Amino acid sequence: MRRSIDDHPFADEEMPEGVDDAMRISWAVAISDDYDDAEPRVVLTVEEVGRPGTGLVGHFTPDMARRLRLALHDALREIGEVPGS
């Protein structure tokens, strides 16, 4: 089983002014259990916009996905945003 959860292609207007070390990327989150152990995992794909199939794909166990979620939560809090909203 493989199911798409969400995706976002980075638009030109989302690029911060003055940044010179970033590229337009797209990200996609899915779930999959297409593994020998049949355990479900969160699949995160990150690739440059316009270059499908050339990016990085991470297959995260539930614990790894929770750690990433916590890191994003903490980063939002550090920049003064309310995590989860």
Where do we find the tokens 């990016």?
A: 55
pTM comes to: 0.84
Q: Which residues contact 24 (CB under 8 A, 6 or more apart)?
A: 9, 10, 11, 12, 15, 48, 49, 50
pLDDT tens per residue, range 40-75: 999 999 999 888 889 999 999 999 999 999 999 999
Q: 43 burial class (0-12, 13-18, 19+ CB within 10 angstroms)?
A: buried
Give the separation between CA 49 and CA 77, rounded to whole angstroms.
28
Q: Is the pLDDT of residue 85 over 70?
A: no
pLDDT tens per residue, range 6-19: 999 988 888 888 88
